[in-house]
Amino acid sequence: MTQTEMDLQKEAQHITRSDLRNVAIIAHVDHGKTTLVDGLLKQSHIFRENQQVGELIMDSNDQERERGITILAKNTAVEYKGIKINIIDTPGHADFGGEVERVLNMADGCLLLVDASEGPMPQTRFVLQKALELDLQPIVVINKIDRKDARIDQVLEWTQDLFLELATSDKHLDFPVLYAIGRDGVAMYHPDDERVNLEPLFETIVNKIPAPKVQTDAPLQMLVAALDYDDYKGKYAIGRIVRGKVKANSSVARINRDGVVSTQKVNQIFVYKGLQRQEVSEAQAGDIVALTGIADANIGETIAHIDHPEALPAIAISEPTLKMTFAVNTSPFAGREGKFQTSRQLRARLYRELETNVSLRVEDGNSPDEFIVSGRGELHLSVLIETLRREGYEFQVSRPEVITREDEKGHLLEPFEMLVIDTRDEYIGVLTEALAPRKAQLSNMVSDGLGNVRLEYKIPTRGLIGFRNTFLTLTKGNGAMSSLLLDFEPWIGKIGTTRMGVLIASETGTAMTYGLNNAQQRGDTFIEPGTPVYEGMIVGLNSRPADLVVNVCKEKKQTNVRSSTAEIQVRLTPPILMSLEQSLDFINNDELVEVTPQTIRLRKRYLTQQERSKRERE
């Protein structure tokens, strides 16, 4: 910083923006963040009386609505007694922690939602730790207090213990606690208070979240925390103005991550009002804004005063833990469904994703048709795959692998995670049996005395690959699991997770009832009669450890002799239909998932029996 810049900063006076509050809502997945934001929006009279807005207003992405989770952090704003409250809704799943990390620096305080039954979960710990590191003022909201299994006092005690563990200063321990039923749009100072509306929450935000203290006369500084795009205005650079002011149609300096400065022009300035962006001619420090005109802006870059280009510290994002190979589709059915099939199109789209998906890493693979994509977990990568698929891309992906490191002495390190399972105590035995070969170590077990139990394990990330399907099967759907990255530790050795062999189609054609009936004598099938298949496609799971080639296209021979049973139809067992995540969990290293806009197929990496035998001998 030059002497002139230092003098300018000293001269600029700090003022308190008492008309503004910036607050992030953070919690574990499914603890009710988005539903609570719905209530805040509706009760702030942002919408017209007759306007139909529905539920989960902030989850505008199709996948968010289908999966019932928040994937992308989003901004909105409400007004309460003349004070504007900017609200940042963040994802609750650990795989999208990068979204949380990049947007928390726009807030001065946070609402920490905790489920009245489940209590603090792994992601609660992660997001709270990030918030306290940024010195955000917390407000704890114990949500869903109307649940039959709510244990409010116990959950409050657990939350206080978590704060004691993570707090970096005494003021972090002085946090207000509210009780809420987000679905009903009510909040109370005490669980027994009358349940009227969210007024207590609005009051607490205004009184407890600090108003931004800013320098409006200092040179402009803004960190780009998010990007958006539309066909009319192009790219939006979204962030909070740290100091100074910005005016429409003015020139600014853009400082990229390498410190290179370029001159850009801000065309329009938008602030948030409800779900809409409202154009303004000027914005000042403390405001969360979306700027258009800066076409090359990327997350983590600084927008600064053109005469005083001073960069802000870049956002630190945790590194990925899983990687998989994306490649051009090489199956016999390639090109039938997708609009984008070439390596050039796939490469351009993956690298374009890096602009907004800050936790993702992409690098070129061993061949021109392959790309190594690294992310924070299976869900993070599967959401990307599903997004590309819906956009019309056709490609194939490999089994997820963990990303390893080496320490100073050259020892191999792998990621370890904390796995938390909530289930019924009758499933403890089968879960322990399933987790033992995956090298999971039980660190804590808590029972509520009513048949519910929480199990906490330390487990290598490798051991979690493919475990979700096993978990749902073993607990018959009576359970929830979540995990959080702990650290990289020494490689733990071979993990004994084995799967039975698969049934492989022997020829290209259409699956017939007769052929599938024969295949079902040897295992479970994944396809129905009439499904097009090709040689090397996986059509079922064998009941034995070895792979087996079967002819599912075989028809029953026609004869001119009628038997007494000729009219009896063959009855097939319904096929096992697997989702994208289940397919990624299922495959082995010598198998691939073929992804097209209409179909997900499992296949062997090498399609012919001759080629597979040759590879085994090598």
Q: Which residues are annotated as a binding site for GTP?
A: 30-35, 143-146
What single string gives the DSSP state of each residue in 258-321?
A: T--EEEEEE--EEEEEBTEEEEESEEETT-EEEEES-TT--TT-EEEETTB--PPPPPP-PPP-
Q: Are 86 and 286 spatial neighbours (Cβ–Cβ below 8 Å)?
A: no
Cα–Cα dist 578/148, whole Å: 33
Q: How many of the other CB atoms lie within 10 Å of CB of 156?
A: 18
**Inter-axis angle of helices 122-133 and 152-166, to 10 degrees?**
40
Cα first-last separation, the chain = 61
Binding residues: 30-35, 143-146
241's enclosing H/E stretch is strand 234-243
Cα–Cα dist 597/340, whole Å: 10
Closest to 100 (Cα-Cα) out of 68, 66, 123, 119: 123
110's enclosing H/E stretch is strand 109-115
Cα–Cα dist 331/324, whole Å: 18
Alpha helix segments (H runs only) across 140-181 = 152-166
**Inter-axis angle of helices 428-435 and 467-474, to 10 degrees?**
160
11's enclosing H/E stretch is helix 3-11
